[in-house]
Amino acid sequence: MRLDGHDPAAIESAAERLAAGELVAFATETVYGLGARADDDAAVDKIFAAKGRPRGHPLIVHVVDRGAAIPFAARIPPIAARLMDEFWPGPLTVIVPRASGMATAAAGGHATLALRAPAHPVAHALLVAAQRHGVTGIAAPSANRFGRVSPTLAQHVVDEFGEALPVLDGGPCRIGIESSIVDCSGPRPMLLRPGVLTQARIEAAAGEPLAAADDSAPQAPGTLEAHYAPHAKVRLMATSMLHTALQMLGGQPMRLAVYSRTVPSGMAPGLRHRRMPARPEQAAHELFSVLRELDDEGVQLIWVEEPPPGPDWDGVRDRLTRAAAT
Ligand code: TXA
Ligand code: MG
């Protein structure tokens, strides 16, 4: 059920629900989240059950600000503190050593915990109201079933979980792909998931280079090879290969869609085509919506032009590569 996230009464009733151990979905600037109070393992378990997500795959705990993050951490490493200062509230998640006994189910039993302070006014209002009810952290993965495309509209969440779940509608998510995740719990900071913040910006704030993610990180959904998958099969193609393939197409295949920045001359006239924006922020903003719309149109195969090289496209490239890996 969609609720107006800018209505204080809706925020208050959502906060009451959270305090009572129930689930609430809400807008953030990245994607919609499916939330439960982080200090209640039984409430958090409802998230894993609803998503069909394995319980060892840890969730992000959302907090109102750095002060609210401190009790969840065994300590805040200096790099994590610098990243929080620079990017919170915003699309950055930091992984820190977990305070023992805190958010155990949300952490999937791991010794570390992912923390983020979202910037979206609806998420922020919910966190402030929840705090008044004694809820200092909201565990929330993206509000989609395990392995599927993350939701960037309230309606996407309703499509995933049905009408019974309250969804605080905050409009289309401004960023559109999930937060960047930096693991600050080890000797070197590690980028576990790229987002819209470029590696260069994160490194400048951290004051040191990010190590490449390695196998010591816990196996988790965003790091699985196949993820963010629509029902249609996604094929990621280099520009020249895409153009050649399109020129070789005979007739007008009904179930194929093309999502590309460039359009080859001589593309079959009635072919379903969506133009990928030239700017990476715009492409990230619409990516998951486009994949869902093509699914809704009954498309079975999506040919996607590879994004251009360069770090600005890392977030979009990462999501497309995983969507194509099924
Ligand atoms: O933008 C976002 O981050 C959204 C919004 C709702 O905040 N949330 C989100 O959550 O994308 P989720 O659960 O779909 O992805 C969380 C990712 C997982 O892929 C997992 O790899 C990583 O966070 N993660 C969480 N805790 C971790 C930990 N202790 N160590 C390593 N990775 C962790
Ligand atoms: Mg997710």
* Domain membership flag for residue 223: no
Claim to verify: residue 132 and residue 237 sit in the same structural domain: no
Instruction: Classify 260 as helix, strand or coil.
Output: strand
Split into its structural domains, the chain has a count of 2
* Domain membership flag for residue 273: yes
Claim to verify: residue 189 and residue 263 sit in the same structural domain: no
Res 267: pLDDT: 78
d(CA 291, CA 233): 10
Q: Which residues line ligand 1 (CB under 6 A)?
A: 28, 30-31, 33, 58-60, 93, 95, 107, 110, 112-114, 116, 118, 140-142, 178-179, 181, 192, 217-218, 220-223
Contact 170, 121 (CB under 8 A): yes
CATH code of residue 88: 3.90.870.10
* Domain membership flag for residue 222: no
- Give the count of beta carbons closer than 10 Å to the beta carbon of residue 276: 21
pLDDT tens digits, 86-96: 999 999 999 99
Q: How far is CA 252 from the centre of its chain?
A: 35
pLDDT tens digits, 24-46: 999 999 999 999 999 999 999 99
- Domain residues for the domain of 266 are 233-323
Res 253: pLDDT: 63
d(CA 300, CA 285): 23
* Domain membership flag for residue 189: yes
| Residue 77: C-alpha distances to residues 101, 112, 198 (Å) | 19, 12, 21
* Domain membership flag for residue 115: yes
Claim to verify: residue 18 and residue 158 sit in the same structural domain: yes
Claim to verify: residue 146 and residue 288 sit in the same structural domain: no
Q: Rounded to two decimals, what is the model's pTM?
A: 0.95
- Amino acid 91 reads P
CA of 253 to the centre of ligand 1 (A): 38
Considering only CA atoms, which residue is closest to atom 3 of ligand 1?
179
- Within 163-248, residue ranges assigned H as helices are 199-206, 239-248
d(CA 56, CA 101): 16
CA of 298 to the centre of ligand 2 (A): 23
CATH code of residue 295: 3.40.50.11030
Which residues of the chain fall short of a pLDDT of 70? 214-226, 251-254
Q: How far is CA 189 from the centre of its chain?
A: 20
* Domain membership flag for residue 224: no
